[in-house]
A and B are shown apart, each in its own frame.
Chain A
Amino acid sequence: MAFVVPKDTYNGKVFEVEIGTGDKAVKIGGENTLPFLTFEGAVPNMPVIAHEVQDVAPEDWPETVQAAYKGVSGDPVTWAKHCQDNLGAQAIALRLYSTHPDRQDTSPEAAAKTVSDVLAAISVPLIILGSNHAEKDAQVLRAACEAAKGRNCLIGKAQEANYKTIVAAAMAAGHKLIAMSDLDVNLAKQLNILITQMGYEKEKIVTDPMSSALGYGIEYTYSVMERIRSAALMQNDGTMAPPMLNDIGMYVWKVKETMASESDLPDWGALEERAIGWESTTAVGLIMAGSNLLIMRHPKAIETAKKVIAELA
């Protein structure tokens, strides 16, 4: 018996979404096969990594990742430029974290000003994220959309509780949209349907299936992503065909493995390497499940993820 390459053919295709403008714009998605299986299909765009930048100094980040941005993280413009110019960032993800009512409760107007300032300083694509407070995000992202008009940003996250305002704002200002639901294939589909019912094109959506850190539920994210991708390709389900985003930094840099000292837990080994490796391993796992865009924090973890992506081409 001779070996015959076991090719599968799929009817569906992941939508290709472009973010940003000019020669620094990036495209994600567009594949018509499972991750990196070019023996049976086309993978026109490799996964992209966005560097996370916050509108406030990251005082609650663990020391290992805080230290990596020492001297630049006090100001979002300096921080974003550092990522672009010195770290070779393909995209910046600006999290308007200070707008959360439990934080500084920064006004939508002030947040919009930060967005304008960052956009003026960078040419790579910008992802604009709220503080994950449904009500406040609706106001903040509406103002941010307006401030970023013309730059083809990726805005989010639109969730079931607040999608209407955010979708309308993204549509009016011509931005792409992150749709996030709670770790469930059907909820992800449902949200995409609700969003398209408002007249927003499904080809402009990026799905956030909700991420989890390695060791803290990554298997749920992994399988939800594999099922979403299977639905897009095998069942040709257009409402499941947006590319997928994983906002992993915020999950990874909250778990004990990225914070506990080696003296407290000698079985866990050196803290710095362990923490960085925790983020890159989380990234690689989700890249295997079909991630098209990842938001990450530590430069060294990002470097590893990029190296892996280069080897996957």
Chain B
Amino acid sequence: MALSGVEIFKHLPKTNCKKCGFPTCLAFAMKLAAKQASLDSCPDASEEAKSFLGAASEPPVRAITIGAGAGAVKVGEETVLFRHEKKFVNPCGMALQVMDTDSDADIDAKASAVATSEIDRVGQRLRIELVSVKDASGDPARFAAAVKRVTEKAPDAGLILDTRNTAAVEAALAHLAGKKPLIYGATADNADAMVGIAKAAGASLGVIADGLDALTALTEKITAGGFKDLVLDPGARKAKDMVEQYTMIRRSATKKSFKPLGFPVISFAVNADPYMEQALASIGIAKYASIIVLSDIAKWKSLALIALRQNIYTDPQVPMQVKQDLYKVGDVKAESPLMITTNFSLTYFIVLGEVENSKVPSWLAVMDVEGLSVLTAWAAGKFTAAKIAQFITESGIDQSVSHKELIIPGYVAILSGALEEKLPGWKITVGPREANALPAFLKNKAAAA
């Protein structure tokens, strides 16, 4: 049963010391109730308060960090089932699978692919973060050598040690001091030994069982001993099982406060058909997987997965924005047409796409209106004649564009008179209301010129 902020507040020191980072104890209590803060942030909490609030102050899905330093990946801490309720918190990590039986050259190539996977999307630097080394040889020395090779080629990648063999884990850990890998993992047969190893190495531990009954029994056994840095694998490998089992786990954790399943999930999308692998990974991204293992990260494949992850984990309350700038679309010249729109990423992408489709090289001025669409920005007083005029005047557009004609979106045709007043010497042309009419509009304009 979740506690309310007021109930939690009764157990706090009530000193308003601000050491937790919040202005008052009550504000902190509210954050604890919303599961957006941890009681660990309060240095003065009594032991009694800690034991009482322990359960309520932890996020329903425990945070797990794989790796150390700049490349560390934090997953978990999720609180909801639907992204429209609240932002999904920590984007899932994606891992490339390497076999310890692969040739040295293949291991190097795969590790390098991970190390160079970073791309830019809508202003964010995004990448494949993890390498999962699978013990296919059954030989601890070979496994450890493969792990070592990976760390040399991809030093910033987090590591997953995919073996049930404690000897293989121990051999690999010799090369991983301070690297905090995920050991994957513990079964009913080896759990005691694996927990001991993970604890000593500061690593997290994957828990493998067939189905949620067996998984619950195993995590309960492990957490009873005080070790809690766990990642769950309920065994789902088919689309249907992934959707059902991952939903049950997320629901148990967030709606039922069921602690034995309050951990991130690892999902294996590995499939011989690359499109199918991409599809299974997409299911994991949408349906609550926190780590997704792939057999291949060809650029075409990971680009789509990185985009989907970015989209699903976007804050639904905060519109995605692009940078205010004068963008060149196509092979522009000083006399190419000049259009203006707002910096809501969706507006920008749709307008950009249609201008590209027109094949008419154009200048696209994108104005910062805090990520609102054209009509909304106009209604909110952020896309007014005065503000547009100021932007055009201060942006240095006249350095790039030789003419003085500005095409404005049809929805704000009403601004054209006021804009001509505020921008002396400029001709304001009203463009189409919808972006899909831009190709015809621009082609006609080019033909007339």
Contact = CB atoms under 8 A, between A and B. Distances in A.
B316 A219 contact: yes
Given A3-B252, A6-B248, A281 B305 contact: yes
A285 interface: yes
Given A284-B279, A288-B287, A304-B279, A36 B244 contact: yes
Interface in B194-246: 212-213, 215-216, 220, 238-240, 243-244
Interface string A272-289: 011011101100110011
- The number of chain B residues touching the other chain, given as a range, is 35 or more
Contact of A311 (B240, B310, B350): B240
Given A102-B440, A223-B316, A285-B312, 12 more contacts: A37-B244, A102-B437, A214-B308, A220-B346, A223-B83, A226-B83, A256-B353, A273-B298, A273-B300, A289-B286, A300-B275, A304-B275
Interface in B250-306: 251-252, 255-256, 258-261, 273-276, 278-280, 282-283, 286-287, 298-305
Interface of A: 1-6, 8, 34-39, 60, 102, 132, 212, 214-220, 222-223, 226-227, 230, 254-257, 266-271, 273-274, 276-278, 280-281, 284-285, 288-289, 300-301, 303-305, 307-308, 311-313
A270 B238 contact: no
Given A218-B311, A219-B83, A2 B213 contact: yes
A60 B252 CA distance: 49
Nearest to A288: B286
B278 A281 contact: yes
B426 interface: no
A254 B301 contact: no
A3 B8 CA distance: 28
Contacts of A212: 346
Contacts of B376: none
Contacts of A254: 353, 357
Contacts of B258: 1, 3, 6
A222 B300 contact: no
Interface of B: 82-84, 119, 121, 212-213, 215-216, 220, 238-240, 243-244, 247-248, 251-252, 255-256, 258-261, 273-276, 278-280, 282-283, 286-287, 298-305, 307-308, 310-312, 314, 316, 346, 349-350, 353, 356-357, 436-437, 440
Nearest to B444: A102
Which 10 pairs, one residue from A and one from B, show the smallest C-beta to C-beta distance? A269-B299, A269-B300, A274-B300, A311-B239, A3-B216, A215-B307, A288-B286, A304-B275, A219-B311, A223-B84
B240 A276 contact: no
A60 B278 CA distance: 27
A268 B303 contact: yes
Q: Find the residue from A34, A215, A256, A276 having the highest chain B CB count within 10 A.
A: A215
A224 B440 CA distance: 31
A64 B316 CA distance: 33
Contact of B283 (A230, A256, A269, A288): A288
B307 A214 contact: yes
